[in-house]
Structure 1
């Protein structure tokens, strides 16, 4: 793996999305290729759990089955963590792994998400350690 990631030590802000509360680095500087995200909420269980910390590669190529971070349609200040199910002419269909999670919001609620709202692809979970690798759906 190339060591080209820059981790921001900036202040952290809270971005709310129903039960998908995520903490995202508040500064999005040009040239930064990665960001860190903390997951809260159960919508991505069992793959992701509240308290998991993720490394997200900005503007990375997305394939069906990848876990991505996107801006919530209609509220671009809010970021969500979802699985990219498929792409169509309108953008990406993003789904929760746990459709029964309280407060979950995904493409079943707001439709396909424009590719311009997809911030990046989750590369790996770095916290907590010893919790297995995050895998693409179907692998």
Structure 2
């Protein structure tokens, strides 16, 4: 999620919040249930993308994501 987030950043996620396009969200992939990712909502149906399109695995490869929560704060 660079440049918005870097390794080591701490974020607060609000579970059960309704995500809208542009929100940064915590997601899980149906085909990879053990993997959690932070992505940005790009469109309806929870099509999510990483901010670095050249180094991101996202809905373009994995399909729609299950949104678990919306980022509300970045602490550092």
For residue 98 of structure 1, what is the aligned residue in structure 2?
52
Q: TM-score, normalised by structure 1?
A: 0.52
Gaps of 5+ in 1: 1-43, 128-139
Is the counterpart of residue 109 in structure 1 residue 31 in structure 2?
A: no
How many aligned residue pairs are there?
Answer: 76
Q: Runs in 1 of length 4+ with deviation above 6 angstroms?
A: none
The Cα offsets for residues 6-44 of structure 1, whole Å up to 9 and x where unpaired, read as xxxxxxxxxxxxxxxxxxxxxxxxxxxxxxxxxxxxxx1
Larger radius of gyration: 1
Over the residues paired in the alignment, what is the CA RMSD in angstroms? 1.0
Higher relative contact order (CA 8 A, sep 6+): 2
TM norm structure 2: 0.92
Residue in structure 1 matched with residue 15 of structure 2 by the alignment: 58
2:30 matched residue in structure 1 = 73
Q: Which has the higher strand share?
A: 2
Question: 1:124 and 1:73 mapped to 2: Cα distance?
Answer: 26
